[in-house]
Structure 1
Amino acid sequence: MVRGTVTLARAAVVVRAGAAPMWWLGIAAAAAGAWQDGLTGQWIGLYAGAALFLVVSPAVYAVRRGRVLAQARTAQRAGRGAVLQDRAVTVRTWRRARRWWLAAAFAVAAGSAAAMPIAGGLVLAGAGAGLRVKAAWLGRWEREQQALLWLPVDAVTARGAGTGGSGAAYLRTGIAAGDALPGGGVRRGSPATV
């Protein structure tokens, strides 16, 4: 058990935080590209984008899964002094720390339509879909183990946060702790304690 006061953010929420903006920015970029012929034409761009979507989604889902599982199995129990960060605060912190990266990704995806319409947007949307599926996979693990995985809040803005790449060790609590369900979804009702 880790003692002392530490503020924790849910690992699954951190993983899931990027899914929605990447998905919707990708869809917006693909829709904008649909109005252009580009160098390849719309149909080639659409087929290439669909193929890339099917490659990128599983790749994002698969990356660092082994490291996540290894860290999850060795996670120590959080102490009673742990402060559990609200789901909304974790999502807002993650997105704020990466807002320029998300804007740049959208600009590249939209700009790529000049060469190959739609494809860049579907790549970005595929990355968002992969993150969403990874959060669901993490949620299944949490339900099976009856334990939720948490990170120190300092790790939320780190590269690879939540996916085993930030270098921060996971901590665990009971399944009812916090205001997010296994997998990072919104929990209805009042949050429980550690």
Structure 2
Amino acid sequence: MCGGRGTRLGGEREKPLVAVAGTPMIDRVCDALAGSRVDGVYAAVSPHAPATRAHLRDAAPAVNVVGTPGDGYVADLTAALDRVGRPALTVAADLPLLAPEPVDRVLAAADGDASLVVAVPVSLKRRLGVSDDATVADGDRPLAPTGLNVVAGTDDDIYVSDDPRLAVNVNRPTDLWVAEALS
């Protein structure tokens, strides 16, 4: 999923093209997926991210670009899933520390019938100093979605990870600073 404008980052670049340690986030995510056991990579790009579309065409020709309407995450995800089918592993382009190992662990945990929401403890995000805008409940422990999910059926299971590479979503300048420091 790489249709973001990056307005909360306050810069001029589209969010997927914001560099972490000199490499655009979208390239870092595509590299992690290429090193995993994922069978194909599709990039869902909205009209709000024309430079990202051009970048992928030039820098990542093996990535299949899927156009989305740009009407928000849910609408764009639905449009992308209509094109690629289910089950599908979805990844937000703002997860620049993603690596093949956690991707493979999530794929191994997926059972094929239920969707899998991947979350980290909110306490981990706070310890790292990154934003924790959304939370889900898991008993008495607050969790934050990571932007990595398996979308299959209508039922949702939660997969909890303590891997810091899944805890850093770059939404604000402070998140970018943390990603730079950890990369």
Whose helix fraction is larger, Structure 1's or Structure 2's?
1
Larger Rg: 1
TM-based fold match above 0.5: no
Which TM-score band (shorter chain)?
under 0.3
Relative contact order higher in (CA < 8 Å, ≥ 6 apart): 1
- What is the TM-score when the length of structure 2 is the normalising length? 0.22
Whose strand fraction is larger, Structure 1's or Structure 2's?
2
